[in-house]
Amino acid sequence: MSSVLSPEMRRRAGGRDIRIVFDEATIAARVHALGQEITAAFPDGELLVLGLLKGSFIFLSDLVRQIDRPLHLDFLVASSYGSEQVSSGNVRLVYDPETPLEEKHLLIVEDIIDSGRTMKKMLALLATRRPASLAVCALLNKNLLPVPIPEVRWVGFPAPPAFLVGYGLDHVEDYRHLPFIGDLN
Ligand code: IMP
Ligand code: MG
């Protein structure tokens, strides 16, 4: 695999020279494996997959098509109060699922765990809704936490210390539609 963009991909990226870190075939194979693991892991009962928008939208849609059991799907939209630059750690749900969460197996699907602040706050908030279980599947994990978050049961790939874009991940809303995951710098 070449890490250099084809002329078509370079055009899609607006001429920006992004280095491919995980190509389409690598992502597809990993998402297939994650789907099989998730299928095997959940006991009977209602599984509600909650995609954290917007970053998870492509991963989420590929992942649920690899999960071989009944499930329901909804979204979460989180927002931090206070300063926009520094994550205040105060997470609020801007969109809260209509479906009750009580007694359901919740699987949160996230694009990337960086400092882990967003995820920790989100999990604390969802735990108050009395789900049957609470687990996370993250596409990428930068592994910056001294103590891993126990609910993060599945990770697609360990992320290199770079700013990653594509396959749902953005830089100021650009590059979400690229089919691969690349390093912007
Ligand atoms: P955390 O609260 O520091 O873990 O931030 C996680 C959120 O920051 C993710 O859900 C992404 O939206 C964003 N983020 C962190 N690192 C990257 C990156 O490398 N590329 C794109 N978005 C990122
Ligand atoms: Mg995100």
pLDDT tens per residue across span 113-162: 999 988 998 999 999 999 999 999 999 999 888 889 999 999 999 999 99
**What is the reported pLDDT for 3?**
84
Here the tokens at position 168 are 């749902």
Q: Pairing mode, if any, of strands 72-80 and 91-95?
A: antiparallel
Work out whether strand 47-53 and strand 72-80 pair parallel, antiparallel, or are unpaired: parallel
Could you give the 3-state DSSP secondary structure of residue 124? helix
pLDDT of residue 89: 63
What separation in Å is there between the alpha carbon of 57 and the centre of ligand 2?
Answer: 10
3-state secondary structure of 148: coil
Q: How far is the CA of 116 from the centre of ligand 1 (A)?
A: 9
> What is the pTM (predicted TM-score) of this model?
0.93
**Catalytic residue among 68, 114, 170, 174, which?**
114
Q: Which ligand is nearest to the CA of 53?
A: 2
* C-beta of residue 111 within 8 angstroms of C-beta of residue 142: no
Higher pLDDT among residues 18 and 85, named by residue: 18
Supply 122's token pair: 């989100």
